[in-house]
Every structure is written in structure tokens, then in C-alpha cells.
Amino acid sequence: MACMFIGLGLGMFFGESGAGVIFGMGIGFLLSAFIKVEKRFSIRIPKSLGGAALILIGLAFILLGFQILGIMPMEVARYAGGLALIGLGILILAGAGLLLKRRA
């Protein structure tokens, strides 16, 4: 949530509040995948499907931010977004399968 507000503030400086929020959300998802705070602060590479899903969501938001700014053409955004959503769907199905397998 903090990254979203930081992105909003930076976006306001550059006159692109919407893109700033989207970038902030993307960075927030990436950070939540790599940083773990329990008793200590640690940076780790995610090894779970949930971590991979957070990375995909974060990258999708960052690419969307680039598209809003006009840096990335719409065709690239459409295909990258489609691939990210397909990957996310596959991760959700795989995670559900693992969950059902553990309960059986």
C-alpha cells in the first residue's frame, strides 16, 4: 500500500497520477514477493506458486504503467498482458490442484 502512495506522489510531480499509482502497485507486488518480514527483515527468492503469482501481477502492473505513459505500444501491452493473465490463471489452477491434493 505504501508503494502505491509513493507512486501516486511521484506521478503527481510528473503530471501522471494514474501511471504513478499503477507503477507503485506493481513495485509493491514485486516487493511483497521478494521481501519477508517476520522477526527479522529478509530478502528471498520466492519458491511458491503464490510468490510467482505476485511477481506476474507486479510485472503486469508495471507494463500497464508504461502503456499509460505511452512508452509501450498498445499491441505489445495487449500481448504481454494476455500472456501474464494466462500465466496467472495457470498458477491459480496449479495452486488449487496442489491444495486439493494435500487435503485428499
pLDDT digits (tens, 9 = 90+) for 26-63: 998 888 888 877 778 778 787 787 888 888 888 888 88
For the chain, the first-to-last Cα distance in angstroms comes to: 36
Mean predicted lDDT score pLDDT of the chain: 84
Determine the average pLDDT of the residues in 14-22: 89
What residue type is assigned to position 45 of the chain? I
The answer for residues whose C-beta is within 8 angstroms of residue 19's C-beta and 6 or more apart is 11, 65, 68, 69
Q: Is the pLDDT of residue 77 over 80?
A: no
pTM greater than 0.75: no
On whether the CB atoms of residues 87 and 63 are closer than 8 A, the answer is no
What residue type is assigned to position 65 of the chain? G
Q: Is the pLDDT of residue 25 over 80?
A: yes
